[in-house]
Amino acid sequence: MPFVRAGYAKDGGSLLQKTFSTGIGYHFKDDISLLGLGFNWGQPNEGTFGPGLDDQTSLELFTRLQVLQNLQVTPDIQYIRNPARNPEADQSWVFGLRARLVF
């Protein structure tokens, strides 16, 4: 399951002025659980952060697991190079956990 997403924002306080994401997902046999890998490139918004910041890139590995009939959890790990929100750092790691409850 490939995916592509792009965006553009002029001013308005957004994190990224230009962004492009792509990746792939693999559905397991049950067709509910998913393993995915995504890549993102983004240009920090000069109106928010000022000029001169390097472009931000990130790589994300995630899995969506069907825990119960009405509950999915998605743990993920992200590697971010040149994080716009922390221009002092060359890289950053983010660990996340999302949940989706349907009723």
> In the block, which residue shows the tokens 């950053």?
92
Global confidence as pTM: 0.82
Per-residue pLDDT 10s for the chain (103 aa) are 899 999 998 877 788 999 999 999 998 877 778 999 999 999 998 888 888 889 999 999 999 998 898 999 999 999 999 998 887 899 999 999 999 999 8
**Count of structural domains within the chain:** 1
| Nearest-angstrom CA–CA distance, 42 and 16 | 6
pLDDT at position 28: 83
The whole domain housing 88 covers 2-101
Dihedral of CA 11/51/82/3: which sign? Answer: positive
Structure tokens at 74: 């998605």
